[in-house]
Structure 1
Amino acid sequence: MIEQKAKVIRSDESTIWLQAERQSTCDKCQVKKGCGTGLLSEHVGRRFSTISVPKKHPVQPGQQMNVSIPEEALLHGAYMMYLLPILFMFAGAGFSRFMFANELVEIIAGLAGLMLGFYWVKKRLKNQKIAIETQLIEEK
């Protein structure tokens, strides 16, 4: 399980909206002074993500929660978002290469395959139920 602390920003009868700070590994790296990614992360500053999870217990805005997601779900989502659209792009370009001799048609078919891949992944991930676990952090 991958865990992250998040703050409750609002809730209704069935949903809790949480705000979590995006984590970076640049703070742990020894070369952060000479690395472009480290310099960029210092310039951009802290960034936050907002997620919604099903409400299982009563919460108030400002409370801290621990959010857990299985590693398999994260790897599956990364595979879907990064690899499948590119495979659709290559399939579209390859299909048009064998059907037509025009390079412009090949480029257009590749871009159409890429867009189709993103659309298909969006529909698949939207209907997928990921077992995100939340636990209220006790305030001391």
Structure 2
Amino acid sequence: MNIMEERGVIVECKGSVAVIRAQRTSSCDSCSSKKTCSSGSSSDMLIEAANGIGARAGDHVVFTVGGGSVLKAGVVLYLVPVLFFIGGIVLGQLAGKSVFIGLNPDLVSGVFGVVFLVIAFFGIKLYGKILEKSGAYRPQILRVV
């Protein structure tokens, strides 16, 4: 996994989590996950990081960002819904021809696709809450500089 060290300033502390304002750096350009990182067109990013060292607002810190984590999150957010949608369409075609006889198979297919897409989004939301509690994808503050 590609781990990057970045620098930033803590703008807010919320318990064991700190909000860091960091600037895009050259390591962002070489990161394999740069296309999945959306921080807008601004050169500043706001990042929530685990504050295990007790840094306070205004502190300049060094934190780690796992590049692979961003890539995995991108796969979950983009690929899973597409796969569920396509799976729903295929199952809808099969069900439209065998179970829902008399209905247009394309209509059944479309409904199945949308239902499966909604299920995927609810599943991703639940998965995100589980990951948020575990802190598995959250950057870590290493030290105050």
Q: TM-score when scaled to structure 1?
A: 0.68
Gaps of 5+ in 1: 26-43
Aligned residues: 120
Deviates most, 76-85 or 90-99? 76-85
Deviations 1:53-79 (A, max 9, x none): 332123232222222133332222122
Contact 1:92 1:109 in 2 (8 A): yes
CA distance 1:103–1:69, change in 2 (3 Å):
same
Contact 2:5 2:65 in 1 (8 A): yes
C-alpha distance in 1 between matches for 2:144 and 2:20: 13
CA RMSD of aligned residues (A): 2.5
CA distance 1:65–1:86, change in 2 (3 Å):
same
Partner of 2:114: 111
Partner of 1:61: 57
One of 91, 94, 101 as aligned partner of 1:95? 91
Q: TM-score when scaled to structure 2?
A: 0.66
Amino acid at match of 1:53: A
Identity of aligned residues (%): 17
One of 1, 6, 18 as aligned partner of 2:8? 6
Offset, 1:48: 4.1
Partner of 1:74: 70
Amino acid at match of 1:65: V
C-alpha distance in 2 between matches for 1:4 and 1:108: 46
Contact 2:24 2:45 in 1 (8 A): yes
Contact 1:77 1:125 in 2 (8 A): no
Deviates most, 60-69 or 94-103? 60-69
